[in-house]
Structure 1
Amino acid sequence: MKSSSFLAVLGLCVGAAVARPATDLLFQNNLNYTDDANHNSFLLLDQRSTQALAAQACRDGFSETLVSTPQAKSSMSDLVSLLTYYGTPSVWLADGILEVRDGKLKFGPAKKGSSLPALCTQSTKASLSFQPVNQSATTTVRNSATKNTFTGYRNLKSFRFLGIPYSNSPGRWEYSSLNPSRNQAYNATAFGPSCFQTGSSKYSEDCLFLNVFTSHLPADGARTTRQLKPTLVWIHGGAFTGGSGADNTFDGANMVSRGDVVQVTINYRLSTLGFLALPGTNITGNYGLADQITALEWVKHNIEYFGGDPSRVTIYGQSAGAGSVRALLASPPARSLFSAAIAGSNLGGYDYGTTYSKYYTIEQEYQAAGMAVVNASGCDGQADVVACLRAVPPSTLVNQSTVARFVVVDGKYIVADQLDVRDRSKTANVPTLWGVMAEDGAPFLPYVTAGETRPQALQSVLPSPYQQAATANTSLFPIPSSTTNSSLNLFNLTAQVGTDVIFRCVDQATVYSALNHGVFPNAWFYQFERSYQTPGFDVNAPTCDAPKTKERPNGDTRLPYLRCHSGDLYYEFGTLGESRLPYRDALDLDFTRLIMDYWSSFVRSHDPNPSADYLEKRGYVQTIDLIRKSGQWRPVGKSKQGSVRLLDVPPRQSTYQRQQQCEVEGLPVDLYEAGK
């Protein structure tokens, strides 16, 4: 029997269709989107062959050519870093051989009998998701088990497969299951519709789609663990009532090209369509959470064909997405589907945040939301309430004044009223990364009113049992004096306390107990001291924006401003360019590089500290310099002092933040310990 490599060469010789070899899209991403036009990307085909066959593989597989010597010389610095990192010291060019020796490119003539990988051009120059792309730059991935194919496209930085249906398209208030299709050809060049929520009429109930961003494609249809990349699955936030995996804030091109991972973004059902639960019926809630689990099952069965490693999956969510991560850590059907977790700005504690970390029973959810939904839909007193609700237009349900948005104890997906951080048999035992914004809670609070006093301000954010102690303690709860605006200073106080009781205290207590009971093998914690607020969520503006001055019209980050909820997202995904926003100063760019290098390192190794070898081979000199100056990000540890990375330029290490305040507020670091 002839070997597969011989058959591939034979196919080339006789002009037959050639299976795509393993391919890497190479782009030296410095995260400066204004500089993208000055850099080229390349396709590295990991199949050794003659120069003629290499040229044919570029042409037949991608409608590209072998890179010429002048083209390579125009990208010398980038190619040194890229070929060094990918361990490919010699490649075919159109007019010879390119070698990397002693950190320099060497050009030479073709040598008879040489068998080398191909370095192909990559002619698509679009680097941002809204820019038009070359319609011929399509690529098809084939799942050899299901025989399904997915045709996506590439831009300057990544291969992109959009709008992939991951489920069986369940009916309203039916649980999703894995897409059972076989022998289907999917056009994955455009996002699928987002799930119904308030706003646009473009939403759909048939919305369970995901998107894959990758820089590596295995050989066509191959099942292999070689060169597979760690995979990041992003779960969007939005109060369980809004959001989409198609939001370009979370575009994966920068993460995969700079961080050497695969990124997946998902849709899941929202609002009443995703979270309604009615006692005594078969509507038992958590449909949106179950959708997330179905998406993870799709990743398990399919991601290897897109270059991702199904055994190294990190789930990552922010806000309600972090609430989802917390729930998935507790969910029995989910625990085997991921190997690490990131929860950014997870809510808990008091007031609005409570239900993100402590779950209602179905009866409690009915009292909080379900009854109002039934009444507002005109279904109260109907012989068949469920049938009545199924007939209500989806836009009506999601636009009611009260909607269902709560994770509930349904007995299958969620079996207890909160994450168990003291029993490792009931929670996923995976490395975790947690953190908050310095004033995460500010957008969730009303701005202070004229004449409002300090006691009144504290009463507005604290439950009554803790108001007196906080009001009396002016040393722990002073009014900041960072600005000349007394109202803003008072709001700064409520923002700090609101951040404590909705975000910080519960998350620190979660990590403390989980580590001390061996639930998490390791954990890291952060607090953002620098932020860039997303325009779509800028409540109480401009308190969360760096003040604009004549000298710095885009915002002066040296002046006081609140570091608010969602102000971390542009840094984590490197997507300021997607919103056409400027870097306010040089530190914004350095900070973006540092944060993405931390986050992608956690996905690759389950440790946010990127290895020195990785940074050096990639040529990430700015991050090397910042880490050299600031030292390693230390894990939290088991002590009550903990360890927290304060993220700024440069970053610095500290302990759990505002522990004494959390104690006075009734949310101490040992909140989850026995007797508390």
Structure 2
Amino acid sequence: MMETRLSSVLFLACCFVRAFGDDSPFVTTSQGRIVGTTLQFRPEGRPELHGAVDAYLGIPYAEPPVGPLRLRPPVAKSWSGELQAKMPGNPCPQPEIKMGKLSPIVRFAEDCLVLDVFVPQQVPSNAAVLVFIHGGGYFFGQGTIEELSPATTAVIGDVILVTMNYRLGALGFLSTGDDVIPGNFGLLDQQLALKWVRDNIQAFGGDPERVAIFGESAGSVSVNLQMLSPGSAGLFRGAIMESGNPHSPLSTTDHRKVAFALGKLLGCERDTSEELLQCLQKVEDIDSIIKSQQEGLAKEFGYGILLAPVVDGSFLPDQPAELYAKGAINDAVSIIGSNANEGMLGFTMLFPDNTDEAPFINSATYDAYYPMFGSIISTEPIVANAVKLMYTDPTCTDGPGCNYVEALSQMSGDFSFVCPADKTARAYTQAGRKVYRYFMTHDPTTKISGPSWLKANHGEEIPFVFGLPLVGLPSDDYPTTEDEVRMSIRTIKYWSNLAKTGNPNLSSLDAELTDEEKQTEWPLFTVEGLEYKDLTPDMLNGRGIKARECRFFNEFVPQLIKTAEDAKKCKESSSKWTQDGSSDSETCTKDKCPEVPEE
């Protein structure tokens, strides 16, 4: 039973056929020989795309992070001889979460720091390399998922594709805010995997000088942070960020409090970081760690991303905004983008059973839900009112037929994904880095995240990056169109070209664009022009992604919050405020708040 499950984990029955026999592909690295397996790529009705891929699965890049290596930086794996790399490795410990129409592997184990390498048999010598960093809010996910086989992208893009697993949740991001448990272990795992690619990819026919990394959601934030980490300089030449960057709201909770609270839940109530670490390294029941981080911490601190990257002074020397201001950004060409309906992500959790039609949210329900969506913006009432004014339809307010779903969705998506991407693109450009921007407005025929009313939801670009419209799903529940097949192929080639040439438009440095390609050539982003590619089958260009909304969030709202906070401080500190709340205008001015009188 286990053998059957493992053999089907990566490969779609309609498109991939595993080759059995004595002719297993192999490569020879400095450590020893790695033996893989061959996949025949056979998308139905598309003979022009047929090919074969040599897959090397479950290659360990680090020692198992157990015992004294738990909650410590990763240690490069030492091995010799022959490594059988025909089966995928373990995903890192995480809660079992249904991922829409996708089927992640659920045999979790701490011995999970592995990567997979997919090499098309027709790939050229010194091939370009794409390295994928998965998302999942830093608490779930895995590098390779059955229905999104990286082999498709490798064949269509004519590149070597590498995926990786990295530590998640408390095991990957717990921090005591000091050198004992500094945190960022999952990010250090990613960095070590990238160093493995640098040191070993030539054995697979790859060029370590032509590597691009890409990720979605938390994987996209990770790509951004690798761009800011001094230890990652020179490990890649391209960076692709799909819906996530360090300006996105993550955790504002005191990480040290979270660490000691988790220790208490696990029977490790201790006084010092050293004592806490020693106790946590001895906890044998991994399920109890996962349950405590998901349920126990949520009860104490509320739901949210409590375990996330931190400024540790080493991997991440300073706050991203400070590093941006200094131009301390690694040298790489970037693609930075987001989707038109990112905020629908929240509704998949609020209405998990609403599969037929979009939920109806009236004005009162909007006000009730706003704290859930808008508290990450500000709890100031004036800010909430400004956001509601900005996003609700002025021709339909408070009426019984007014649906506020789109208002909540767009507000949440713009604040969390679209407008932070605008900040990042501007910062990279001002630091002299080349940036290409995209905005996916295409409403997919089928969503991997749920029902059709989710539109271009968070993560819906992933099927196009991994070629799902070309191959469908095993259960035949992923209908698509020829336009979407064309869109997927174009997207894969854009991503692959960035690794090949540093330009998504060019597959080789001596290539020339056709007349048709010139008409839709993806322009560089500039602060003056705000150019971007509209990710649809037509791949047209545009200017100013949500420019009005992003000025609102990136410029006006911070000023409004400061004004509200200054007014509150002024009111609290002035001894001349009267009982009814009126003020002495000469005492409290917009330029100067009164000092608290000394007793």
Distance in 2 (alpha carbons) for counterparts of 1:631 and 1:451: 41
1:211-241 superposed Cα distances (whole Å, 9 cap, x missing partner): 00012589xxxxxxx8211110100001111
Distance in 2 (alpha carbons) for counterparts of 1:534 and 1:175: 41
Shift of the 281–327 alpha-carbon distance from structure 1 to 2, 3 Å rule, reads: closer
Shift of the 614–492 alpha-carbon distance from structure 1 to 2, 3 Å rule, reads: farther
Match of 2:20 in 1: 134
1:464-491 superposed Cα distances (whole Å, 9 cap, x missing partner): 3532333345xx642799xxx956x421
Question: Of the candidates 139, 154, 163, which is equivalent to residue 256 of structure 1?
Answer: 154
Shift of the 241–612 alpha-carbon distance from structure 1 to 2, 3 Å rule, reads: closer
Which runs of structure 2 are paired with 1:184-223 in the superposition (5 Å)?
Answer: 184-199=81-96, 202-216=107-121
Match of 1:109 in 2: none
Distance in 2 (alpha carbons) for counterparts of 1:275 and 1:231: 28
Distance in 2 (alpha carbons) for counterparts of 1:534 and 1:399: 33
Alpha carbons 2:440, 2:461 under 8 Å: kept: yes
Match of 1:631 in 2: 520
Q: CA deviation at 1:128?
A: 3.7
CA radius of gyration, larger in = 1
Which is worse superposed, 268-277 or 391-400? 391-400
Q: CA deviation at 1:125?
A: 12
Q: Does 1:373 align with 2:287?
A: no
Which runs of structure 2 are paired with 1:505-584 in the superposition (5 Å)?
Answer: 505-518=419-432, 520=433, 522-532=434-444, 537-538=449-450, 541-544=451-454, 562-576=455-469, 577=471, 579-580=473-474, 581-584=477-480
Shift of the 515–275 alpha-carbon distance from structure 1 to 2, 3 Å rule, reads: same
Q: Does 1:593 align with 2:593?
A: no
1:480-520 superposed Cα distances (whole Å, 9 cap, x missing partner): 99xxx956x421121111111000111111111221232x1
Shift of the 450–413 alpha-carbon distance from structure 1 to 2, 3 Å rule, reads: closer
Distance in 1 (alpha carbons) for counterparts of 2:106 and 2:496: 36
Distance in 1 (alpha carbons) for counterparts of 2:128 and 2:109: 31
Shift of the 495–126 alpha-carbon distance from structure 1 to 2, 3 Å rule, reads: closer
**SS of equivalent to 2:38:** strand
Match of 1:606 in 2: 502
Alpha carbons 1:212, 1:264 under 8 Å: kept: yes
Distance in 1 (alpha carbons) for counterparts of 2:485 and 2:122: 29
Q: Does 1:169 align with 2:57?
A: no
Letter in 1 for 2:464: Y
Alpha carbons 2:366, 2:404 under 8 Å: kept: no
Question: Of the candidates 410, 414, 422, which is equivalent to residue 316 of structure 2?
Answer: 414
Q: Does 1:423 align with 2:345?
A: no
Q: CA deviation at 1:669?
A: 12
Shift of the 534–239 alpha-carbon distance from structure 1 to 2, 3 Å rule, reads: farther
Percent identity, aligned pairs only? 23
1:352-402 superposed Cα distances (whole Å, 9 cap, x missing partner): x4127xxx6xx93123x3233122212224783323222331111112213
Alpha carbons 2:95, 2:291 under 8 Å: kept: yes
Question: Of the candidates 644, 651, 655, which is equivalent to residue 543 of structure 2?
Answer: 655
- TM-score after normalising by structure 1: 0.67
Structure 2, unaligned runs of 5 or more:
1-10, 42-51, 97-104, 299-305, 352-358, 560-599
Question: Of the candidates 284, 289, 292, which is equivalent to residue 397 of structure 1?
Answer: 289
**SS of equivalent to 1:385:** helix
Structure 1, unaligned runs of 5 or more:
1-123, 219-225, 545-561, 617-622, 672-676
Distance in 2 (alpha carbons) for counterparts of 1:298 and 1:480: 57
Distance in 2 (alpha carbons) for counterparts of 1:528 and 1:601: 19
Shift of the 197–458 alpha-carbon distance from structure 1 to 2, 3 Å rule, reads: closer
Distance in 2 (alpha carbons) for counterparts of 1:606 and 1:412: 28
Match of 1:301 in 2: 199
Shift of the 344–471 alpha-carbon distance from structure 1 to 2, 3 Å rule, reads: same
Distance in 1 (alpha carbons) for counterparts of 2:127 and 2:542: 32
Shift of the 365–449 alpha-carbon distance from structure 1 to 2, 3 Å rule, reads: farther
Shift of the 277–154 alpha-carbon distance from structure 1 to 2, 3 Å rule, reads: same
**SS of equivalent to 1:237:** coil
1:299-328 superposed Cα distances (whole Å, 9 cap, x missing partner): 011101111111111111100000100111
**SS of equivalent to 2:326:** coil
Q: CA deviation at 1:348?
A: 5.3
Distance in 1 (alpha carbons) for counterparts of 2:509 and 2:187: 39
Aligned length: 494
Match of 2:55 in 1: 160
Question: Of the candidates 23, 29, 32, which is equivalent to residue 147 of structure 1?
Answer: 32
Distance in 2 (alpha carbons) for counterparts of 1:668 and 1:191: 49
Question: Of the candidates 398, 401, 415, which is equivalent to residue 501 of structure 1?
Answer: 415
Shift of the 414–611 alpha-carbon distance from structure 1 to 2, 3 Å rule, reads: closer
Alpha carbons 1:319, 1:345 under 8 Å: kept: yes
Letter in 2 for 1:138: S
Q: Does 1:340 align with 2:238?
A: yes
Alpha carbons 1:233, 1:316 under 8 Å: kept: yes
Distance in 1 (alpha carbons) for counterparts of 2:498 and 2:395: 35
1:174-216 superposed Cα distances (whole Å, 9 cap, x missing partner): 211222323x211011101111001276111010110000125
Alpha carbons 2:224, 2:245 under 8 Å: kept: no
Alpha carbons 1:217, 1:305 under 8 Å: kept: no
Alpha carbons 2:91, 2:106 under 8 Å: kept: no
Question: Of the candidates 363, 384, 404, which is equivalent to residue 467 of structure 1?
Answer: 384
Which is worse superposed, 606-615 or 241-250? 606-615
Q: CA deviation at 1:590?
A: 1.7
Distance in 2 (alpha carbons) for counterparts of 1:543 and 1:270: 31
Q: CA deviation at 1:453?
A: 4.5
Q: Does 1:644 align with 2:559?
A: no
Q: Does 1:452 align with 2:363?
A: yes
**SS of equivalent to 2:404:** helix
Q: CA deviation at 1:585?
A: 2.4
Letter in 2 for 1:421: Y
Distance in 2 (alpha carbons) for counterparts of 1:231 and 1:150: 20
1:626-645 superposed Cα distances (whole Å, 9 cap, x missing partner): 746x5211111131x41111
Shift of the 584–201 alpha-carbon distance from structure 1 to 2, 3 Å rule, reads: closer
Shift of the 168–390 alpha-carbon distance from structure 1 to 2, 3 Å rule, reads: closer
Write out the 4+ residue segments of structure 1 that deviate beyond 4 Å after TM superposition. 124-127, 445-450, 457-460, 533-536, 611-616, 623-626, 666-671
Distance in 2 (alpha carbons) for counterparts of 1:452 and 1:578: 40
Letter in 1 for 2:27: V
Q: Does 1:272 align with 2:170?
A: yes
Q: CA deviation at 1:148?
A: 3.7
Alpha carbons 1:228, 1:308 under 8 Å: kept: yes
Distance in 1 (alpha carbons) for counterparts of 2:315 and 2:14: 39
Alpha carbons 1:208, 1:267 under 8 Å: kept: yes
**SS of equivalent to 1:543:** helix
Alpha carbons 1:512, 1:669 under 8 Å: kept: no
Q: CA deviation at 1:649?
A: 2.4
Question: Of the candidates 163, 166, 185, which is equivalent to residue 287 of structure 1?
Answer: 185
**SS of equivalent to 2:234:** helix
Alpha carbons 1:379, 1:388 under 8 Å: kept: yes
**SS of equivalent to 1:167:** coil
**SS of equivalent to 1:268:** coil
C-alpha RMSD of the superposition: 3.3
Shift of the 493–160 alpha-carbon distance from structure 1 to 2, 3 Å rule, reads: same
Match of 1:9 in 2: none
Distance in 2 (alpha carbons) for counterparts of 1:300 and 1:613: 22
